[in-house]
Amino acid sequence: MKFILPLVGTLLCSMTCTASSIFTKTYKSPLGVPLEGPPIYISKKIHDTKSIEFVEHSSYPPWLGLELDYAYVKPIVDAINSTETPLLTRGESHITIVTPPEFDTLAVAGVTIEEINAIAREQRIQESKFDIVCLGKAELVQDGKNYIVYQIIVESPSLVKLREKIFTLYYSKGGNTALFDPRTFWSHITVAYTISDLFVDQGIYKSANVCHRPLIAH
Ligand SMILES: *[C@@H]1O[C@H](CO)[C@@H](O)[C@H](O)[C@H]1NC(C)=O
């Protein structure tokens, strides 16, 4: 029996070798972890955020985000959703720049969400550039339930720069610089999840460490 599968594979390959070699091409994450293929594609229009209006999140809990067009994220949801593991979404997309727990830290020094929003507008937040790293998958089993969260892992020096501007304000107001690191930043776009999102407070780090599938903007 053991030799039958490779034999079938070879026969298939001789017929449809191009498709087969695309399928078996192995992709690796920036950390050298093999990724599941085939790649998923996303419209490069996901980067055109300039004409999207900045959305303030001032009511409790306040946070700062770069607003994105969910229309370009939806096809990824459809590509990874299945009846076996049905996924939920929020029907919107953004990149969180200052999380609610980080805001609480900044607020101790008297930094307000209005000041953060003003810096964001000044820095033209909606014109920020970001690079797509991969499609990430973070998993956690808790109380017998399987939490799975998919996200687009992104890298963005311009968003780090925006966080550094906020850090400068925090410092100028006497904030404890040990409690807010503008460069410790796991930028991502939440795509979908099985039960609920997972956060850093749960010990979940969303960066190249969770790369799961190649994601190519075209
Ligand atoms: C995912 O698939 C399930 C089952 O087909 C469906 O009920 C659900 O609405 C889908 N989720 C999304 C976000 O489209």
Cβ of 6 below 6 Å from ligand 1: no
178-197 confidence digits (pLDDT tens): 999 999 999 999 999 999 99
Comparing 213 with 3, the larger pLDDT belongs to 213
- Rounded Cα–Cα distance for residues 187 and 182 (Å): 12
Res 73: pLDDT: 98
Res 72: pLDDT: 98
Provide, rounded to the nearest whole percent, the portion of the chain with pLDDT above 90: 87
Cβ of 79 below 6 Å from ligand 1: no
Please check the confidence at residue 46 and state whether its pLDDT lies above 60: yes
Q: How far is CA 102 from CA 51, 94, 113, 135, in A?
A: 28, 17, 11, 25
Q: Please identify, by atom number, the ligand 1 atom nearest to the C-alpha of residue 82.
A: 2
Cβ of 18 below 6 Å from ligand 1: no
How close is the Cα of 88 to the center of ligand 1, in Å? 7
4-15 confidence digits (pLDDT tens): 444 444 444 444
